[in-house]
A and B are shown apart, each in its own frame.
Chain A
């Protein structure tokens, strides 16, 4: 072998090493994501609040490794299958039921990153989805809508002089309130010396929905030195009235 041949051989080996290393590096770049990373990307794509994000990740971390793999497979195969949709705009709530996140499907469809390493037969995927059902994020179904009105009359010598009105619109199953749609209150009639303004608040927690209206009653004009406040509240658990009160606060 002459000198030229030796140089060519050495160059070829060196080139081979370089190319081989490059290919290995490229493969490393495309290395499959871990199940945790897949799930994390999935949750990021949901654009949920930080609290919900943390809660979901924590729940995922508590699953056995095999379960985590199955969930990751499901996310990659069909992320929407992790959720249940019904007619109407899909609205996501976390399992804690704390925050409503609209436009979920849009985000998921466009943002979920898929990897290629989780190749599981379809039958396994189906069972994996079922096995992972405890982790499913459920969208709020468009449950029946209910409107509750609560009227309390103020009277003087048996004559009705005014009415505290309240309207609470919510979605519910027979046992749980799933979403509050409207919570308003107002006073009609003669309040005499009072200048009345209102403020409202509402929440859904543990299957119960509450609507609270606060009446700020100021003497003669808003911001005067003397005031008296009232609170009117409706609480429903499903379609069952739990509490209806009007009290001084």
Chain B
């Protein structure tokens, strides 16, 4: 059975992490993907087999960032309130 070279897997993990990083703040399922990828990359890095440490570390940073940004956006959204509304309301006839 042919095994994928570890370095190739690491590269794909990084690509996936970047994609998730872009999507996570906007598309909520990507956030779940970010958590799954983060666990995967962390375990892979911790197994101390010959891996591309730099790639995996970058992936971890990217994924962590996506989660932090998503959380920040979530907080901003949750804290948004308005009780005057006058400025944000437009009324047109028709």
Residues of A within 8 A of B (CB): 144-156, 161-162, 164, 187, 189-195, 217, 219-221, 228, 230, 234, 236, 239, 241, 243-248
Contact = CB atoms under 8 A, between A and B. Distances in A.
A27 B74 CA distance: 80
A156 B73 contact: yes
A152 B80 CA distance: 8
A162 B79 CA distance: 12
A152 B86 CA distance: 11
Most-contacted residue by chain A among B26, B28, B73 (CB, 10 A): B28
B88 interface: yes
B93 A145 contact: yes
B70 interface: yes
Interface residues of B, number: 32
A244 B91 contact: no
16 contacts: A145-B93, A148-B90, A148-B91, A156-B72, A162-B77, A191-B28, A192-B69, A193-B28, A230-B78, A236-B91, A241-B85, A241-B89, A245-B85, A246-B80, A246-B83, A246-B85
Interface of B: 24-26, 28-29, 31-32, 69-86, 88-94
A12 B9 CA distance: 117
Given A190-B25, A192-B72, A245-B83, 11 more contacts: A146-B93, A152-B88, A155-B76, A161-B73, A161-B76, A190-B26, A193-B31, A194-B74, A220-B31, A246-B82, A248-B78
A76 B11 CA distance: 87
Contact of B82 (A195, A239, A244): A244
